[in-house]
C-alpha cells in the first residue's frame, strides 16, 4: 500500500498516474519499489519492456494502461529529450508572453554564445534520433555483463570510452567515459546487475 504523502508529492509534480489501476505488469504487483501511481516510472518501464525485454508494443501498452498511439508518443518524447522529458510540463499562462525584438535578440545572442545548444539536434539529423546514435555503441542491444559483486562493476568500458570520444569530437562537454558509462547503465544499454539482484536475467 503506497503512502498518502508520496501520492501528494506525485500530484504536486504532475506525475500522479491517473490510470494506475490499469497497470498490470508483474513488476508492479506487490512491489515496494515499483509504484503504479508513479507516471514517470510507469512510462519508463513500459519503454524498457519493449527496448530491452523484447515485448511487443501492443503487449507493453496494454500491461501499462496505455494505447499504442500513446506508447509511440511517449517513445518519441523520451527519444527527443530523455527521462526528464517524460515529466508532464506545467501549463503556461493563459495570455502568451510577447516575444519582443529585445527578447529575440537576447535569445539569439545566447544561442550564438553556446554552440552546444544545437549538438543534439545535429546528432538527431545525422542518425534519425539520439537513441539510434547511442545504441550503435553496443551493437543495438543491451550488453549483458555478469558481475558477482559491486567490486567487479567497472567504472568505464571500451564502449563508454568510444562513446565519450565520439561525443567530444562532436563538441559535447562533460562526457567523460565514467560519466557515459553511468549513462549507459541508467538507459539500459548495459546490464550490470550483480548476482542475486532480482532484476538480473539469466
Instruction: Specify the domain boundaries for CATH 1.10.340.30 within the chain.
Output: 119-191
CA atoms within 13 A on the CB side of 82: 7
In degrees and rounded to multiples of 5, residue 7 shows phi and psi of -60, -35
What would the mean pLDDT of 61-83 be, rounded to a whole number? Answer: 89
pLDDT confidence tier of residue 116, bands split at 50, 70 and 90: low
| 138 CB neighbour count, 10 Å cutoff | 19
CA atoms within 13 A on the CB side of 72: 3
125-137 residue pLDDT tens = 999 998 999 999 9
- Whole-angstrom CA distances from 140 to 135, 156, 163, 188 are 5, 19, 14, 11
- DSSP state letter for 174: S
Cell (9 digits) for 9: 508529492
Please tell me the class of the 119-191 domain.
Answer: mainly alpha
Q: Which of 13-17, 64-68, 165-169 has the lowest mean pLDDT?
A: 13-17
**Residue partners of 45: CB distance under 8 A and separation at least 6:** 25, 27, 28, 34, 64
What would the mean pLDDT of 91-118 be, rounded to a whole number? Answer: 64
Separation between Cα atoms, residue 33 and residue 186, nearest integer Å:
16
What would the mean pLDDT of 145-168 be, rounded to a whole number? Answer: 86
- For the cut 80, the answer to whether the pLDDT of residue 113 exceeds it is no
Place of cell 539482484: 197
- For the cut 90, the answer to whether the pLDDT of residue 64 exceeds it is yes
User: Which residue in 7, 44, 3 sits closest to 23, CA to CA?
Assistant: 44
- For the cut 50, the answer to whether the pLDDT of residue 38 exceeds it is yes
Amino acid at each position: 500500500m503506497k503512502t498518502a504523502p508520496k501520492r501528494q508529492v506525485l500530484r504536486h509534480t504532475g506525475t500522479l498516474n491517473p490510470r494506475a489501476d490499469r497497470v498490470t505488469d508483474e513488476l508492479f504487483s506487490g512491489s515496494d519499489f515499483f509504484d503504479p501511481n508513479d507516471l514517470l516510472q510507469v512510462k519508463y518501464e513500459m519503454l524498457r519492456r519493449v527496448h530491452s525485454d523484447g515485448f511487443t508494443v501492443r503487449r507493453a501498452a496494454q500491461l501499462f494502461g496505455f494505447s499504442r498511439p500513446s506508447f509511440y508518443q511517449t517513445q518519441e518524447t523520451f527519444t527527443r529529450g530523455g527521462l526528464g522529458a517524460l515529466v508532464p510540463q506545467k501549463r503556461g499562462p493563459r495570455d502568451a508572453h510577447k516575444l519582443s525584438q529585445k527578447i529575440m535578440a537576447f535569445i539569439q545572442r545566447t544561442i550564438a554564445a553556446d554552440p552546444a545548444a544545437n549538438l543534439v539536434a545535429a546528432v538527431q539529423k545525422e542518425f534519425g534520433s539520439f537513441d539510434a546514435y547511442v545504441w550503435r555503441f553496443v551493437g543495438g542491444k543491451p550488453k549483458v555483463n555478469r558481475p558477482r559483486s559491486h567490486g567487479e562493476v567497472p567504472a568505464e568500458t571500451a564502449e563508454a570510452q568510444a562513446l565519450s570520444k565520439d561525443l567530444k569530437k562532436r563538441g559535447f562537454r562533460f562526457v567523460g567515459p565514467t560519466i557515459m558509462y553511468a549513462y549507459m547503465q541508467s538507459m539500459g544499454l548495459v546490464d550490470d546487475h550483480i548476482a542475486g539482484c532480482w532484476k538480473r536475467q539469466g
